[in-house]
Structure 1
């Protein structure tokens, strides 16, 4: 396989030639880290085997897109040939290279930085190893099997960073100038602040939002920074082989039922995760909402589900005002419409670019103008 030509094209498409990340992108063989992956096809996860189709393998591996390597507890490497999965959520992946580099750029990694990163497939670890030298890199994951696979593949391309199996929300295996997490968290773990050296920087995303947090450690043991103006979404941290079950019981209650409140919505039906700023503002206002959708031709139905039993269902065609059913202790669609009204009234939402202050215990305060929110 002439992977070098494809890696060089990926590098040229992702960064400028003078970028310090051009060399790593052009010289790390991404296909080594993703020999098999799961592709979504008509609602199913279908196994793709790289060595079985080298042309498709090189196209996928050297494209700027995320390749899902694990669905639920089943890693693509361990699946039977031709396997399909009808249900389940991604639990590990090889993140699109452009986003990995973007997170590293937010970290402003210096040549002498000691860096902790999250493992996943190991590809992102390989990039920062090529940038700094593997002796400056620690890579961690909660899943021992993932760490083992990544460690073997890193070694096969001549890289031997420190690898560790650990829950990134708990104690970390050292101290670092930079912590860059390509899994999302809520709240910011206090252990990160303890493991950051004075003046060190953390970069992460907040779970169930598109918010990228960059913050530098201060003398009080906390950190201050900003919400980046760009957005990103990563899988949330997990402690077991899979994520806890979703809100199926709440969904079944609200799937077709008449709500306690039935009204006509002000704005067209929106699947909230499609709008990063709205999604993020809603999650900060009402943490824990799960979103589902169904499309039938021009008609769309979306559900907002909350662990406290609240649900909202909105149905509409294109830009027509939707019919909205709501039940439970909260009126979730009303919460959403308040945010959408603010967006339409002000032309933007305050969450991106907000000032960040993180206390030593991880409690995170966001503020921009008169708006504020707390993440704990």
Structure 2
């Protein structure tokens, strides 16, 4: 199977030929790390097997898109082709362009010792090709993922980085010049500061937002940096087989409930995760909101749900119809969203992208830009 005729165009799409990431993208066989994957099928998922359709496999593996490899507790590798799944994605092979973007944000040098997160192992392989496997440590909370990636790295590419089953939010197995996490965290773990060498850099995304955080370790044991101008989203860290969804029970109650407050919004209906800056800002000032959406005959409904019992539901038909908003519980979530949209409408921008980042040695994080600041917990 001539996979090079697929990988090289991908490399040319993502970087210039003189980039240090051109060879890794050209010569690391991504399909080896994703022999099976989950694809959306209506409201659920279906497993695809690469060996059953090699051309579709190559097309998927060497496209710049994320391939979901685990849904709920089910690894695509371990179920029969055509199996249906339900739930949230819990692991994936991140789109190659985003992996390289995270590595570029890390300002990796030839001598850098780097800790990365494992997932499928493809990102680990790119780092090993660029630096040499002896300079790379790869960790994941899932023993199966670590074992599968280790085998594919060794048998497919002869690479033997240090691999460890490890909760990335806890103690890390060494000291590093760079920590690059392709799972999102909130806040940045204190253990990362302890594991970073002097003036080392961490790169991650903040859970519940589209914000890439870069920060360099300071002499006092903290770190300073910024929110990068490009958005990104990763699955957040988990500590079990699946994610908790604390608002599930609330959603069943309030799906069609009349709210304590009923109003008409001045803005078109928005499913908040579709707008990176608004989503990120709302998550910073009102953390823990879950977002859901449904469409029925051209009528769209979005929900904002919080485990404390706060909720909002907005419904409209088409872009021009003013949404009717129902709200209940101890806080008014839609009002918080409207304040952010008012600010965006008034200023033309929101302060989240480009904000300065300060992480104290005890892990307390502050984002600030101009007169705006927020503590991240």
Q: How does the TM-score come out when normalised to structure 1? A: 0.99
Counterpart CA distance in 2 for 1:5 and 1:112 is: 31
1:106-144 Cα distance to aligned partner (Å, 9 max, x none): 000000000000000000000010000000000000011
- Equivalent positions of 1:194-213 (< 5 A) are 194-213=194-213
1:313-358 Cα distance to aligned partner (Å, 9 max, x none): 0001222211000000000000000000100110000000000000
**How many residue pairs are counted as aligned between the two chains?**
375
Q: Which residue of 2 aligns with 1:163?
A: 163
**Post-superposition shift, 1:296?**
2.2
Q: Which residue of 1 aligns with 2:52?
A: 52
**Post-superposition shift, 1:158?**
1.2
SS at match of 2:111: coil
**Post-superposition shift, 1:266?**
1.2
Checking the alignment, whether the CA contact within 8 Å between 2:310 and 2:333 is kept in structure 1 is yes
- Equivalent positions of 1:144-293 (< 5 A) are 144-156=143-155, 157-293=157-293
CA RMSD of aligned residues (A): 0.7
Counterpart CA distance in 2 for 1:297 and 1:101 is: 41
SS at match of 1:240: coil
Checking the alignment, whether the CA contact within 8 Å between 1:209 and 1:279 is kept in structure 2 is yes
Q: Which residue of 2 aligns with 1:344?
A: 345
SS at match of 1:234: coil
Checking the alignment, whether the CA contact within 8 Å between 1:189 and 1:361 is kept in structure 2 is no
Q: Which residue of 2 aligns with 1:79?
A: 79
Counterpart CA distance in 2 for 1:7 and 1:98 is: 13
1:14-38 Cα distance to aligned partner (Å, 9 max, x none): 1111111001000000000000000
Q: Which residue of 2 aligns with 1:131?
A: 130
**Post-superposition shift, 1:301?**
0.4
SS at match of 1:19: coil
Q: Which residue of 2 aligns with 1:35?
A: 35
Q: Gaps (5+ residues) in structure 2? A: none
Q: Which residue of 2 aligns with 1:140?
A: 139
Counterpart CA distance in 2 for 1:265 and 1:315 is: 10
Q: Which residue of 2 aligns with 1:25?
A: 25
Counterpart CA distance in 1 for 2:58 and 2:281 is: 39
Counterpart CA distance in 1 for 2:57 and 2:351 is: 42
Q: Which residue of 2 aligns with 1:108?
A: 107
Tell whether 2:313 aligns with 1:313. yes
Counterpart CA distance in 2 for 1:134 and 1:362 is: 30
**Post-superposition shift, 1:213?**
0.2
**Post-superposition shift, 1:253?**
1.9
Counterpart CA distance in 2 for 1:288 and 1:364 is: 17
Checking the alignment, whether the CA contact within 8 Å between 2:44 and 2:87 is kept in structure 1 is no
314-323 or 119-128, which deviates more: 314-323
Q: Which residue of 2 aligns with 1:368?
A: 369
SS at match of 2:181: strand
**Which runs of at least 4 in structure 1 moved beyond 3 Å after TM superposition?**
none
Counterpart CA distance in 2 for 1:370 and 1:192 is: 29
Checking the alignment, whether the CA contact within 8 Å between 2:310 and 2:332 is kept in structure 1 is yes
1:281-320 Cα distance to aligned partner (Å, 9 max, x none): 0000110000000112432100000110000000012222
Counterpart CA distance in 2 for 1:257 and 1:304 is: 13
Counterpart CA distance in 2 for 1:8 and 1:359 is: 43
Counterpart CA distance in 1 for 2:131 and 2:104 is: 13
Counterpart CA distance in 1 for 2:28 and 2:230 is: 26
SS at match of 2:159: coil
Checking the alignment, whether the CA contact within 8 Å between 1:262 and 1:323 is kept in structure 2 is yes
Checking the alignment, whether the CA contact within 8 Å between 2:246 and 2:307 is kept in structure 1 is no
Q: Which residue of 1 aligns with 2:303?
A: 303
